[in-house]
Amino acid sequence: MSAFIDKMRRRAGRYLDVRSVEIAPARGVFSLSFDDIPVSAWTEAGPILAEHGIKATYYVCGGLSGGFNMDLPQFETEHLLALHEAGHEVGCHTYEHASTLTLSPAELDASLARNAEWVSERLDGHVMRTFAYPFGDCALGSKAVIDGRFLCGRGVRDGVNTGKADRNLLQAIGLESRRLPGYDLEAMMAATAASKGWLIAYGHDVMDGPTPYGCTPDDLDRVIRLAKAADLDILPVDMAWERIAA
């Protein structure tokens, strides 16, 4: 019964309280993001991003620092400092990596405040500007909380953001070994360019023999090459937002 209720709550979060934004950049945009953050999302992905001269967005949970998530070692403060120093965006993913379906709006706000303080202390006052929903779960009551604190929120529902999009629940594709075989990435990049849309990708671990939620270094390299071949601007989520809102 609770699975059914969660399904209905996810549906309410998807279709109700939509605050739309017009996606209309001069050229199609591609954004890369990494959630949680497993160590390899920096140690393996960072050099690939640098080689291509692009910046990504890292969605951090202070509560996962130095711990394990899905059996993978998570970032330490030194990794966060390094990726921030390298110019990548640090965004928010709640403090505890909690589904918004399990939090009241007040509890969600408290988690966001705790994460903001945790990050600010370590990154010299850095203020996170964008958000990604843990597990992609968006409870209806959470959207106003996200809207009040961030430029935009990102979910995990497949698709290119074009025309009018929900600023508090943007669509994204998974750089995940369980999902990648089902995508026609060339066609998605071409559609993004043709529609002047915004394609966002999210991943977790980056390594040979990745988890179902991660990808290989070659997968990451390939998606970047395809975005470049399609002549998309490659920007972190916050800078993409500014491009689109401008």
Binding site for Zn ion (CB under 5 A): 35-36, 134
| N-to-C CA span, the chain | 45
Nearer to Zn ion, 156 or 232 (CB): 156
Nearer to Zn ion, 88 or 197 (CB): 88
Q: Are strands 57-60 and 29-36 parallel, antiparallel or unpaired?
A: parallel
Residue type, 14: R
Strand partners, 117: none
CA 81/CA 95 separation, integer angstroms: 17
**Least Å from the CB of residue 22 to Zn ion:** 28
Q: For Zn ion, which residue has the nearest CB?
A: 35
**Least Å from the CB of residue 144 to Zn ion:** 21
- Residue 134 phi/psi, 5-degree rounding, is -55, 135
Element (H, E) at 45: helix 45-52
**Least Å from the CB of residue 71 to Zn ion:** 14
Nearer to Zn ion, 149 or 192 (CB): 149
Nearer to Zn ion, 35 or 44 (CB): 35
**Least Å from the CB of residue 193 to Zn ion:** 29
119 in Cβ contact with 107 (< 8 Å): no
Nearer to Zn ion, 63 or 134 (CB): 134
Nearer to Zn ion, 30 or 59 (CB): 59
**Least Å from the CB of residue 36 to Zn ion:** 5
Q: For the chain, how big is the Rg over CA atoms in Å?
A: 17
Estimate the crossing angle of helix 142-149 against helix 105-122, to 10 degrees.
30
CA atoms within 13 A on the CB side of 233: 18
CA 185/CA 70 separation, integer angstroms: 26
SS3 state of residue 194: helix
**Least Å from the CB of residue 93 to Zn ion:** 6
